[in-house]
Copies of this chain bind each other. A is one copy, B any other.
Amino acid sequence: MDYSRRVEKLQAILRRQKMDALLVTQPENRRYLSGYTGSDHGIGETSGVLLVPARGGIFLLTDFRYRIQAEQDVPWATVLLYPRGLLLLLPRLLEDLGIRKLAFESHYMLHSTAAMLAQALAKVGITTTPLKGLVEKMRLIKDEAEIDCIRRSVQLNEEVFGEVFPSIQPGQTEIEIALAIETTMRRKGAEQPSFSSIVASADRSALPHAVPGGLPVEKNRPLTIDMGLVLNGYCSDMTRTFVPGRADARYLELHRLVRRAQLAGMQAIRAGVKAGEVDRAARAVIAGAGYGDAFGHALGHGVGLAVHEDPRLSSLNHKQLRAGMVVTVEPGVYIAGWGGIRLENMVVVREEGCENLNSDTTWLDL
């Protein structure tokens, strides 16, 4: 990955915005700009923050526990340790660098932290300015090296599904299947799942975000598996619904309906189309069959270093899609007491259409 080009691009933006530096706290932004793989224990316990001055080299500020990892991952940054916390190190460092106006990522800094930071820096005459989504905006458009990482993540995810699928039997618990999926991911070299796998049988498949439990997979009822992994930092995300045993006529009708909606969504995607239009194209298919109320979430979301990122394929998003964006297309119908069907692929937005990163197999099309 070409980290120096990314940093230079950000530095040009900072100079245009009359900022002297940006403090990067968002973990995927930190990785995008530097390659640092440190993982945080939630927002309250960071493994380090990146200081990007508007000119010159970058700094990775971390604590004792992450020193060796930081130095190994980011030899192109100056690694500094804060033995007594960032708020004691930062004022002096910024003064030394002549930084008077510090921007921070207001969408990834706690309200309380921002208040303490502003107070500590005000004492030495430095102002803080909340900025939102600066690096995320850069991350929206993936370059071909990134798309290649995502493609490999999707392929590995499909390989995992393909390996686990033949072993799925009614009577197994959802959690056993989730475990088999996550074990296979790790064995095949994934860094980690990109989210907790969803395995939901029968009625429970009507919960879009079901947590796998100790209940058995029911024969002849819908089974939804939503799974993804992280490979070289990049995420995949895929949902398949099928019926262990024999699908009844209603299932077949609804599965075909959801699949038609998915294809309508994919066919609507190309550079220049508004995100909301894509959502509407898929939703119209489901609404046209009288199931509009059963599809209560947006059609899709961006995927990259984060498994959920912009752009959202939501009826509320009026922005145009651009070539190089990577999004999921995942319509669903959810019927309480009966179950749900969701089908999710990942695609790359291209000038003339979209590139499906998943290899749809015919048995899924019934």
A residues with CB within 8 A of B: 37, 39, 41-45, 47, 64-66, 68-69, 83-84, 104, 106-115, 130, 132, 175, 178-179, 182-183, 186-187, 192, 195-196, 206-211, 296-297, 307-308, 316, 336
**In the complex, are the beta carbons of A108 and B110 less than 8 A apart?**
yes
Minimum distance in angstroms from A231 CB to a CB of chain B: 13
Q: Complex formed: what's the CA distance from A187 to B39 in Å?
A: 26
Can you report 16 residue pairs joining A to B where beta carbons are below 8 Å apart? A37-B211, A41-B195, A43-B43, A44-B108, A64-B296, A64-B297, A69-B207, A69-B211, A104-B111, A108-B110, A109-B111, A111-B113, A111-B114, A115-B130, A179-B183, A179-B187
**In the complex, are the beta carbons of A186 and B192 less than 8 A apart?**
no
**In the complex, are the beta carbons of B106 and A115 less than 8 A apart?**
yes
Q: Complex formed: what's the CA distance from A307 to B41 in Å?
A: 9
Closest to A133 in B: B112
Chain B contacts of A42 at CB under 8 A? 42-43
Q: Which of A84, A206, A210, A211 has the most CB of B within 10 A?
A: A211
**In the complex, are the beta carbons of A65 and B196 less than 8 A apart?**
no
Chain B contacts of A207 at CB under 8 A? 65, 68-69
**In the complex, are the beta carbons of A110 and B115 less than 8 A apart?**
no
Chain B contacts of A66 at CB under 8 A? 209
Minimum distance in angstroms from A193 CB to a CB of chain B: 11
Chain B contacts of A183 at CB under 8 A? 179, 183
Chain B contacts of A83 at CB under 8 A? 296
**In the complex, are the beta carbons of B209 and A69 less than 8 A apart?**
yes
Q: Complex formed: what's the CA distance from A111 to B104 in Å?
A: 10
Contact partner, A111, options B106, B186, B210, Cβ 8 Å: B106
Minimum distance in angstroms from A166 CB to a CB of chain B: 20
- Sample of 12 further A-B pairs with CB below 8 A, known A39-B196, A108-B110, A175-B186: A41-B308, A44-B108, A64-B297, A65-B297, A69-B207, A83-B296, A84-B316, A106-B115, A107-B111, A111-B130, A179-B187, A182-B186
Q: Complex formed: what's the CA distance from A296 to B67 in Å?
A: 11
**In the complex, are the beta carbons of B308 and A45 less than 8 A apart?**
yes
**In the complex, are the beta carbons of A107 and B39 less than 8 A apart?**
no
Q: Which of A114, A115, A209, A316 has the most CB of B within 10 A?
A: A209
